Structure 1
Amino acid sequence: MSIDHDRLFKELIQTFFEEFIVLFFPAMHEHIDFHHLSFLSEELFTDVTAREKYRVDLLVETKLKGEDGLVIVHIENQSYVQPSFPERMFIYFSRLFEKYRKNIVPIAVFSYDTIRDEPSTFTLQFPFGHVLDFRFFTVELRKQNWRNYIRQDNPIAAALLSKMGYTESERVELKKQFLRMLVRMELDEAKQRLLFGFFETYIKLSDEEERRLRSEVNEMETKEKEQVMELIISYEQKALEKGREEGVKQGIKQGMKRLVQTMAKKGMSVKDIANVTDLSEEEVERLLE
């Protein structure tokens, strides 16, 4: 099943917006008034020439300290390499400015696995003159060394360890440090579940790696060891329960599908099957397909 990267990043950054800004843009953080925050609805833009539609990932309306005017922070997650991305950022900026007529702070988060030098400008110039020099802020996750972030009690840092630069041999240590961060931060269950789900989407240890993780956790200091092990066991149980629920749902669906197909083979109409099974006619038709 494909991963909805944009949805995952939007949910993460929307939940921990201030933590995201302070982690990657501390100078910007000093100027933003985080008491004035509102998340705007998604903007959908149509590229008529390419016949494609693009949806802006995250728009945050806020204020700068000591100023009355509003500003909009636009954060775009880019999960794949796209040579024309700077141009797209400029088009987003132009259309957002046209609609809102407010100062806009454009930020791009590059979250793909390759390491490359991404441009942060879009320029238009001629031999006879310079027309445009559009710049946007960037975060290139794969270039970040994950070990530089493990001492920070920042939930964004914890989740994004899974997208930073690490080697295959560091995966077990990476997850161990992620769990230690979760324990230290003492977040509520909903936020903790969000971070854990994000991390596990991108780093799923093998059975052998999980055994190594448990072994290394057992060598930790007693109090921390108990807390981390409790966290591991808790999420293993939740994963098992979720698997059981999905298995039951799948079994019910397959059983209903066989029943509907049997009724159809006996000559019953879609309408009659719907009346007998309490399904809608559309649901019956989908099962028959």
Structure 2
Amino acid sequence: MTIGMTGRINVLIIPISVKRNDILWKSILEDTFEDFLRFFFPEADDVFDFSKDFEYLDKELEQLFPPDNDHYSSKFVDKLVKVFTKEGRDEWILVHIEVQGYTDPHFADRMFTYSYRIWDRYRKRTTALAILTDDNKHYYPSCFEQSFLGTSLRFEFNTLKVLDQCDRKLAESDNIFAHVIMTVKIALKAKSLGQKDLFDLKIQLAKRLISQDIPKWKIGKLMDFLKFYVVFKDLDLEQSFNEEINCLTLKNHTTMGIDEAVIYITREEAKEEKASEVAKRLMMKNCFTLQEIAELVDMPLDFIEEVKDSM
């Protein structure tokens, strides 16, 4: 079903923005999980028992991939959720979700590896879903297969390519998760839009959110996702956006809360700003390589290169 770190050690650098988005995704998936299931599966209300709580098994999922396994550790948004079905009082299945933000030729392999390890651990039926948030129009992983001497294997999983989702249908949808997808689409458009156009799009979505009949706490979660996922390069526009939102929320008697994910992101941004200042001072001394500066301030090399380019 298809719906729409460097040195000599080979380590992949994960930019701050990617880490921020990972945190946002993990948070918003839990905050809107029931809506997420209904968005993905039109028959969700007939299949899942929403009267029972979901159980998030992220820690159990991490245990399936030891910390020293570099290919799988802390690089991807992954969720494993225990969901009860309507087949029986104690009958439940697992929902495995991956959010993939860039082209990876090994992604389907990874999805299969997760699948068989989850099966080996739980021996329960699992539905796997990949949310593709990249901007590559030709990247559509949806299965893993291999065959040799009469033995074959084919593993298929559900995919949602954000790039392909229709703006009109998303705007017209009464499903809260559609706002999450729309936010990601705006972030993708940000690469080709001017900052003023991006501001207008972001404000439009915020107004639409506030005007709808959505629980206030969910509006707060969705607004936090919009605010931190779609970032302005122009700090004045960021301030203008915040002021506009404050006016809108006061006018609509909507209270915005701050959850743990937002607190964490704010702390990370403060850390990033401090690291940038220290890095600039070290560069002016001309005594250190960029790699050495990266190690001294405990930030990725690409972050240090961006700081250098901004000087």
**Same-fold call, TM > 0.5?**
yes
Given residue 227 of structure 2, which amino acid in structure 1 is its aligned partner?
E
State the Cα RMSD in Å. Answer: 3.8
Whichever residue aligns with residue 54 of structure 1, its letter is S
CA drift at 1:158: 1.4
Per the alignment, in what secondary structure is the counterpart of residue 46 of structure 1? coil
Distance change >3 Å, CA 13–CA 161, structure 1 → 2: same
State the SS of the aligned residue for 2:121.
helix
2:132–2:162 contact (8 Å) kept in structure 1: yes
- Mapped to 1, the partners of 2:126 and 2:17 lie a distance apart of 32
Query: Do 2:67 and 2:73's aligned partners in 1 also have CA atoms closer than 8 Å?
Result: no
1:243-276 Cα offsets, whole Å, 9 max, x none, are xx98xx99xx9xxxxxxxxxxxxxxxxxxxxxxx
Give the alignment partner of residue 202 of structure 2, picking from 175, 183, 199: 175
Shift of 1:171: 3.1
Contact conserved, 1:76 with 1:108, CA < 8 A, in 2? yes
Q: Paired residue for 1:161? A: 182
Q: Deviations over 1:77-124 (max 9, x none)?
A: 112221100010000010011111111111111112332331211111
Q: Does 1:138 align with 2:154?
A: no
Determine helix, strand or coil for the equivalent of 2:49: strand
Which of 13, 17, 30 is the matching residue for 1:2? 17
| Local SS of the residue matching 1:33 | coil
- Which residue identity lines up with residue 24 of structure 2 in the other structure? L
Note the alpha carbon deviations across 1:123-164, whole angstroms, 9 max, x for none.
1123x5351111111111112132321122333211321212
Matches of residues 258-273 of structure 1 in structure 2 within 5 Å? none
Please say if 1:59 is aligned against 2:75. no
Mark the structure with the bigger radius of gyration.
Answer: 1
Shift of residue 228, structure 1, vs aligned partner: 7.0
TM-score (norm 1): 0.65
- Contact conserved, 1:10 with 1:58, CA < 8 A, in 2? yes
Question: Structure 2: which amino acid aligns with 1:59?
Answer: L
Structure 1 residue 208 displacement after superposition = 8.6
| Inter-CA distance 168–228: structure 2 relative to 1 (3 Å threshold) | farther
Q: Is 1:24 matched with 2:50?
A: no
Higher relative contact order (CA closer than 8 Å, sequence separation 6+): 2
2:31 is aligned with 1:15: yes
- Which of 57, 64, 72 is the equivalent residue of 1:40? 57
Change (3 A) 1:230 1:132: same
1:90/1:134 contact within 8 Å kept: yes
The answer for the alignment partner of 2:106 in structure 1 is 84
- The residue identity in structure 1 corresponding to 2:17 is S
In 1: Cα distance, 2:51 partner to 2:95 partner: 15
Indicate if the aligned counterparts of 1:16 and 1:156 stay in contact, CA closer than 8 A.
Answer: yes
Corresponding residue number in structure 2 for 1:279: none
> Closer, same or farther in 2 for the Cα pair 1:180/1:149, shift >3 Å?
same
Distance 1:191 1:3 in 2: 23
Alignment size in residue pairs: 230
Q: Which residue type is aligned with residue 65 of structure 2?
A: T
- The 10-residue stretch of structure 1 (40-49 or 79-88) with the greater mean CA deviation from structure 2: 40-49
- Inter-partner Cα distance in structure 2 for 1:28 and 1:117: 27
Give me the whole-angstrom Cα distance separating, in 2, the residues matched to 1:195 and 1:161: 11
Q: Distance in 2 between matches of 1:234 and 1:34?
A: 27
With over 3 angstroms needed to count, the CA separation of the structure-2 counterparts of 1:129 and 1:47, relative to structure 1, is farther
Structure holding more strand per residue = 1
- Does the CA contact (< 8 Å) of 2:84 and 2:92 recur in 1? yes
Q: Is the 8 A contact 1:158 1:181 kept in 2?
A: no
- In 2, the alpha carbon distance for the partners of 1:129 and 1:183 equals 58
Deviates further, 172-181 or 131-140: 172-181
Give, as a single letter, the amino acid of the residue that structure 1 aligns with 2:107: F
Post-superposition offset of 1:211: 11
**Distance in 1 of aligned mates of 2:172 and 2:211:** 10
| In 2, Cα distance between equivalents of 1:208 and 1:143 | 32
